[in-house]
Amino acid sequence: MSAMNAQIQPILKIGAVAKAAGVSIDTVRFYEGRGLLPSPQRSASGYRLYDQSTIERLNFIGRAKGLGFTLNEIMLLLDLQDKGGSKAEVKSITGAKLEQIERKIEDLQRMRSVLGKLNSDCSGSGSVTGCPIIEALVDGDSDDCCK
């Protein structure tokens, strides 16, 4: 907050931002192409030049990915931040994602329960003949798993 260093930011080349954010150089360029990162300034020789804010933006993207958002969804979230959207818009995106995650969890729990039972029913020794796992796949008994 001192008076005179308004835009004196350290200038970073692509390798440095990538490293700082823990992504590859290719990923940075890829995100730029996808519109997740703005087109950066260029040096006289054409090198991309970044500052700290790009690292923060990459971290935003990484955290959102960690919460299960796709790059398209992340672009929506970044737009809401950049252009000033409403909390309602943000919440509708995260709410939808939450429901999607819950549905996925239910699917996987169903798979786990069927597969866990089959797995424990199988002795694991001898030839595949009579294997309860294979039999369940063959004739579909005890099958709640295929809609």
Partner DNA sequence: CTTTACTCTAGTCTAGACTCTAGGGTGTAT
Partner DNA sequence: ATACACCCTAGAGTCTAGACTAGAGTAAAG
Q: What is the DSSP letter of 41?
A: E
Minimum CB–partner distance for residue 74 and DNA (Å): 8
Give the separation between CA 145 and CA 131, rounded to whole angstroms.
Answer: 18
Q: Specify the 3-state DSSP secondary structure of 15.
A: helix
CB of 43 to a second copy, least distance (A): 28
- Single-letter amino acid, residue 100: Q
Q: What's the angle, vertex CA 27, arms to CA 21 and CA 32, rounded to 5?
A: 100
Q: Which of 60, 73, 75, 76 binds a second copy (CB under 8 A)?
A: 60
- State the nearest-atom distance from the C-beta of 31 to a second copy, in Å: 15
Burial 47-63 (b: 16+ CB within 10 A, else e): ebebbeebbebbebbee
Task: Check residue 109 for interaction with a second copy (CB under 8 A).
Answer: yes
The Cβ-side half-sphere exposure at 1, using a 13 Å CA radius, reads 0
Span interacting with a second copy, options 5-13, 23-31, 40-48, 135-143, rule CB under 8 A:
135-143
19 binds a second copy (CB under 8 A): no
Binding flags for a second copy, 74-103, as an x/- string (CB under 8 A): ---x--xx--xxxxxxxx--xx-xx--xx-
Q: Which is nearer to DNA, 36 or 118 (CB)?
A: 36
Residues that bind DNA (CB under 7 A): 13-16, 23-27, 29-30, 43-48, 65, 70-72
* Distances, alpha carbon 21 to alpha carbons 44, 47, 52, 54, 78, in Å: 25, 18, 10, 9, 17
Judged by the rule CB under 8 A, the positions of this chain that interact with a second copy are: 56, 59-60, 62-68, 77, 80-81, 84-91, 94-95, 97-98, 101-102, 104-105, 108-109, 111-112, 114-116, 118-119, 122-129, 131, 133-134, 136-138, 140, 143, 145-147
